[in-house]
Amino acid sequence: MHGVPTKYQSHQILMKYKKHIFICTNLKPDGKKSCGEVHGMQLVDAFKQLVKDHNLSVDVRAQKAGCLDVCGFGPALVVYPEGVFYGKVQLEDVQEIFDKHIVHNEPVERLRLKF
């Protein structure tokens, strides 16, 4: 098959991690609202700690990311391979996202951004 792989195919190939969490920590100039300015880095630290606590470092990676282009809904993050975006994520939401989506594969609908 040629061209861009289908969604299904892209899940089948070359995934180093079972779940890859990208958390926006972008800081915009001039004090404009941005995920990094709110608590983006704290979200990264919280997810990293849960990955470590659950001994899932081989299968799950949480890392900081630049702007995800959903700034108005920040703090934002995205979980792959599903490509599920979350917005307005608070520190107290991290455990729920981790338990439901990362461990049990069930996205947290109340925080999910729908495009």
Is there binding between residue 24 and ligand FES (CB under 6 A)?
Answer: yes
40 and 23 Cβ atoms separated by less than 8 Å: yes
Scan residues 74-113 and list those touching ligand FES (CB under 6 A): 74, 76
**Shortest approach of ligand FES to residue 22 CB, angstroms?**
10
Amino acid occupying residue 54: H
**Shortest approach of ligand FES to residue 38 CB, angstroms?**
9
Site of tokens 């958390």: 23
**Shortest approach of ligand FES to residue 85 CB, angstroms?**
9
Q: CB neighbours of 25 closer than 8 A, spacing ≥ 6?
A: 35, 36, 40, 41, 44, 64, 65, 66
Footprint of ligand FES (CB under 6 A): 24, 26, 34-35, 67-71, 74, 76
